């Protein structure tokens, strides 16, 4: 797409995005059109995130996931259908997203998001969405985003519970500030299908706010979702002066009292 193409909205785009243009205006929509978002993991969190980012008109979405669709994915990974079992997740996802919004540019990478790959991709984008399901990979993604100064929208889920953290390097705690030690992994872990959907919608909401400049981002707090009692809780968090990931760019503060409690997810 040429430079002129991202400076204006076509008549089709004006109609397609009419309802949200009424919220943040044409300039906000143009910011989305110029934006690049990286989604790491196209599963329970990444699938709905990709759908709503494409529907909103984010200009370029990069999808990274090395896995293939399994039958047990289908209660929550809504971009993948029964016919897609055995197919690469990035290919399955891209097919539906192109049908939903052909204006959006898609890049698909069927590789594990190791540090080398992330070091190439993260500097290219405006925001990164954490769609991962293990703590080692999440903390590695956090490290690379902090290194390159890119916002990370983290979420994690378990059963009917979830958490959300918006990381803006240099301004907010990073994930390593509140997850001091890598928690033990449980495989397979239970998931009610709607739980990652709800957390993913919160991730997209924060992404769109940061990209358009509309609204007040959820900074300096961990959002806890309890689907069992249907409750949302805000836990104030601040930066850990001894954080091995972000202390080099920190300006002061204490680590969160939630550092131990949050490791249940």
The predicted structure's pLDDT at residue 260 = 32
The predicted structure's pLDDT at residue 151 = 98
Q: Could you tell me the domains of the chain?
A: 35-264 (3.40.50.720)
Q: Is the pLDDT of residue 261 over 50?
A: no
pTM over 0.75: yes
User: What gap in Å lies between CA 54 and CA 142, rounded to an integer?
Assistant: 24
Structural contact between residues 211 and 126, judged by C-beta atoms closer than 8 angstroms: yes
DSSP 163: E
User: What gap in Å lies between CA 15 and CA 27, rounded to an integer?
Assistant: 15
More confident residue, 110 or 184: 110
- Taking only the tens place, the pLDDT of each residue in 86-109 is 999 999 999 999 999 999 999 999
Q: Is the pLDDT of residue 144 over 80?
A: yes
Question: Helices (DSSP H) in the chain: which residue ranges?
Answer: 11-16, 18-34, 46-56, 89-100, 115-121, 135-148, 175-178, 194-212
5: confidence class by pLDDT, cuts 50, 70, 90: low
User: What gap in Å lies between CA 78 and CA 43, rounded to an integer?
Assistant: 8
Q: Is the pLDDT of residue 48 over 80?
A: yes
Structural contact between residues 135 and 159, judged by C-beta atoms closer than 8 angstroms: no
H/E element, 61: strand 60-64
The predicted structure's pLDDT at residue 134 = 94
Structural contact between residues 167 and 151, judged by C-beta atoms closer than 8 angstroms: yes
166: confidence class by pLDDT, cuts 50, 70, 90: very high
- Taking only the tens place, the pLDDT of each residue in 212-243 is 999 999 999 999 999 999 999 999 999 999 99
The predicted structure's pLDDT at residue 253 = 35
Structural contact between residues 149 and 169, judged by C-beta atoms closer than 8 angstroms: yes
């Amino acid at each position: 797409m040429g430079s002129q193409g991202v400076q204006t909205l076509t008549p089709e785009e004006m109609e397609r995005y009419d309802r949200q243009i009424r919220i943040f205006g044409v300039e906000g929509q143009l910011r989305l059109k110029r934006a690049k978002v990286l989604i790491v993991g196209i599963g329970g969190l990444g699938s709905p995130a990709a759908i709503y980012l494409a529907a909103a008109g984010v200009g370029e979405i990069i999808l990274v996931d090395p896995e293939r669709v399994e039958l047990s994915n289908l209660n929550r990974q809504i971009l993948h259908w029964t016919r897609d079992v055995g197919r690469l997740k990035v290919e399955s996802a891209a097919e539906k997203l192109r049908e939903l919004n052909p204006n959006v540019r898609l890049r698909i990478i069927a590789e594990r998001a190791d540090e080398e790959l992330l070091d190439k991709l993260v500097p290219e984008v405006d925001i990164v969405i954490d769609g991962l399901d293990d703590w080692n990979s999440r903390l590695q993604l956090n490290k690379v985003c902090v290194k390159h100064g890119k916002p990370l929208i983290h979420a994690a889920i378990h059963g009917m519970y979830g958490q959300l953290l918006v990381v803006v390097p240099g301004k907010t705690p990073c994930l390593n500030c509140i997850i001091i030690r890598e928690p033990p992994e449980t495989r397979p872990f239970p998931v009610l299908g709607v739980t990652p959907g709800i957390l993913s919608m919160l991730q997209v909401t924060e992404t769109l706010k940061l990209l358009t400049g509309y609204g007040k981002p959820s900074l300096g707090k961990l959002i806890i979702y309890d689907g069992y009692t249907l409750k949302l809780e805000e836990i104030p968090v601040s930066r850990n002066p001894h954080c091995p990931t972000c202390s080099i760019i920190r300006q002061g503060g204490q680590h969160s009292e939630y550092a131990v409690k949050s490791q249940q997810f």
